[in-house]
Amino acid sequence: MAEAGERLPKRDPQAGPAARAAGRKVLVVDDEESVRELVQLYLGKEGFEVISARDGQEALRMNGKHRPDLVILDLMLPGLDGWEVCRQIRSTSQVPIIMLTARTEEVDRIVGLELGADDYVVKPFSPRELVARVKAVLRRGSMAGEESETLSFPGLRIDRVRHRVEVEGEEVHLTPTEFRLLWCMASHPGRVFSRAELLDRIWGYDSESDARTVDVHIKRLRHKTKASEARPFTISTVWGMGYKFETRPPAEE
């Protein structure tokens, strides 16, 4: 929705980006009408269908009703805040979530990531950057479903086409970002990935200021898969360099 007298950008039906975005639905959750309108303006130009909510309760209703392909979620919402909305969405859905936050404190971003958000953008933000983040998250999700590959290790099985991870025969539920991160490293056992490389491969950008994003997702991935020295696979920290996935033979009794 644009302000009175302002025209929405015309859509070119032959445009590549708009054609690729056609049918993709994005839920924008923010209590500021100007923010919702701005995001809708830019996403609409790219061919996305945009629905919006002004508070947490409405966001949960809209998410259940419309089943969006991606959620853009402001953390500072009246009543039910963004952290609780993220937690409740994650309890029933693995839809990608990009957080919007006006807070610059690192702990706020970390809490959101630990609750299962896939990415974050700090206010005030560039609308073009936000659109790029949306495209990157959705593109990575689409690419993950194109290949019918499976990785198998002792105690661990990763099925890419079904987006399923099993640890010792039990299914483990990962967010899309956690799955891509595990797949990326497990596809190259023993290889060390720097934080910058993982940011580029998984999130689609490289910024030293966002390196903690990788750390938080690695922590969640270790916890969910229980990857540790007690198991035949682990995600190891290589100090000063990054992380690597590695397997080891079962310990001798």
Answer yes or no: pTM beyond 0.75. no
**In the listed set 116, 144, 172, which residue is the last one of a domain according to the structure?**
144
Q: Are residues 71 and 22 in the same domain?
A: yes
Read off the DSSP letter of residue 210.
G
Q: Which domain holds residue 106?
A: 16-144
Residue 63, pLDDT score: 92
Q: Is residue 5 part of a domain?
A: no
Strand ranges inside the chain, DSSP E: 25-29, 49-53, 70-74, 97-101, 119-122, 150-153, 156-159, 164-167, 170-172, 233-238, 242-247
**In the listed set 101, 122, 144, which residue is the last one of a domain according to the structure?**
144
Count of domains forming the chain: 2
Total Cβ atoms within 10 A of residue 56: 23
Residue 118, pLDDT score: 85
Residue 233, pLDDT score: 87
Q: Are residues 40 and 79 in the same domain?
A: yes
Please count the CA atoms within 13 angstroms of the CA of 95 that sit on its side-chain side.
Answer: 26
Q: Is residue 11 part of a domain?
A: no
Amino acid making up residue 28: V
The helix (run of H) or strand (run of E) holding residue 178 is helix 176-186
Q: Are residues 124 and 157 in the same domain?
A: no
Q: Are residues 40 and 154 in the same domain?
A: no
Q: Are residues 138 and 160 in the same domain?
A: no
Total Cβ atoms within 10 A of residue 235: 19
Q: Are residues 140 and 56 in the same domain?
A: yes
Q: What is the CA radius of gyration of the chain?
A: 19
Three-state SS at 61: helix
Q: Are 206 and 198 in contact (CB under 8 A)?
A: no
Q: Is residue 2 part of a domain?
A: no
Residue 208, pLDDT score: 55
Q: Are 113 and 89 in contact (CB under 8 A)?
A: no
CATH number of the structural domain spanning residue 110: 3.40.50.2300
Residues 4 and 239: their CA atoms lie apart, in Å, by 55
Q: Is residue 230 part of a domain?
A: yes
Q: Are residues 136 and 191 in the same domain?
A: no
Q: Are residues 238 and 119 in the same domain?
A: no
Q: Are residues 123 and 217 in the same domain?
A: no
Residue 228, pLDDT score: 64
Residue 29, pLDDT score: 96
Q: Is residue 7 part of a domain?
A: no
CATH number of the structural domain spanning residue 228: 1.10.10.10
β-bridge mates for residue 25, sequence order: 49
Q: Is residue 252 part of a domain?
A: no
**In the listed set 90, 117, 144, which residue is the last one of a domain according to the structure?**
144
Total Cβ atoms within 10 A of residue 128: 9
Selection from 60, 143, 58 nearest residue 97 by Cα: 60
Residues 94 and 81: their CA atoms lie apart, in Å, by 19
Q: Is residue 180 part of a domain?
A: yes
Residue 68, pLDDT score: 92
Q: Are residues 58 and 28 in the same domain?
A: yes
Q: Is residue 6 part of a domain?
A: no
Read off the DSSP letter of residue 111.
H
Q: Are residues 139 and 104 in the same domain?
A: yes
Tell me whether strands 97-101 and 119-122 are parallel, antiparallel or unpaired.
Answer: parallel
Please count the CA atoms within 13 angstroms of the CA of 35 that sit on its side-chain side.
Answer: 24
**pLDDT block averages, 10 residues each, the chain of length 253:** 39 44 83 94 92 95 92 92 91 88 74 82 89 84 56 88 87 89 90 88 68 88 80 87 81 43
Tell me whether strands 242-247 and 150-153 are parallel, antiparallel or unpaired.
Answer: unpaired
Structure tokens at 233: 């696979």
Q: Are residues 34 and 127 in the same domain?
A: yes
